[in-house]
Amino acid sequence: MNTYSSKLLEEAVNELSKLPGIGRKSALRLALHLLKRNSMEVEFFGNSIIQMRNNIKHCTKCYNISDTDICEICASKKRNSSIICVVEDIRDVMAIENTSQFTGLYHVLGGIISPMDGIGPQDLHIDPLIERVKNDDTNEVIMALSTTIEGDTTNFYIYKKLKDLNIEITTIARGVSIGDELEYADEITLGRSILNRTPYSTKL
């Protein structure tokens, strides 16, 4: 498309445009922005990304991203190790941690079962989850996956593997979002939220 006046610029634009959601026009804008920053800043920028890729670890227990072999959450004495919350990726760990409502441990699957994208159970950290539940002192597994068909499929697959292990298996509540007007909630969500109604409480 473009005739770049510099091979160095062209290469940087090529690389930047490989990022998800960044087209060639945005990539050029980012490259020109980086050119205006001072040399040390840009070196720090590039190196921080390389360092991250080369030195980051995944917790050997829960597969969360970590700088150590066992992540801070798994290593903490303050967390309730009898509850494991199963999530898709580390962004979900962050989102749940931000609520400050959960004090158990996590298990990061690294994705969800999605035949369309060629992702099967063997591509996810499901077997280590089963081992963990079998060997550790687990009372409850909370399934906290997306409320999509893929999420439901993954829930069901894991449920089948865990159901004979004498532990409680729960899923996160599905219902009308807080702050939403009822008339705009979709029918399936609204229907489910009536079926799964909870005792009235003045606490929340």
**Cβ at position 59, least distance to a second copy in Å:** 8
At residue 81, φ and ψ (nearest 5 deg) are -80, 0
Determine if 47 is a binding residue for a second copy (CB under 8 A). yes
Determine if 43 is a binding residue for a second copy (CB under 8 A). yes
Determine if 202 is a binding residue for a second copy (CB under 8 A). no
- 143: β partners: 86, 171
At residue 140, φ and ψ (nearest 5 deg) are -145, 140
Count the helix, strand and coil residues of the chain and give each as a percent rounded to the nearest 5.
Answer: 50, 15, 40
| Residue span 84-123 as binding mask against a second copy, x where in contact by CB under 8 A, dash where not | -----xxx-xx--xx-------------------------
Complex with a second copy: residue 32 or 149, whichever CB lies closer: 32
Region binding a second copy by CB under 8 A among candidate stretches 11-19, 163-171, 177-185, 188-196: 11-19
Left, alpha or beta for 180 (phi > 0: left; psi -120 to 50: alpha)?
beta
Q: How far apart are CA 71 and CA 180, in angstroms?
A: 36
**Cβ at position 143, least distance to a second copy in Å:** 21
Q: Are strands 104-108 and 80-87 parallel, antiparallel or unpaired?
A: parallel
Positions touching a second copy (CB under 8 A) are 1-9, 11-12, 14-16, 18-21, 26, 28-35, 37, 39, 42-57, 59, 64-67, 71-73, 89-91, 93-94, 97-98
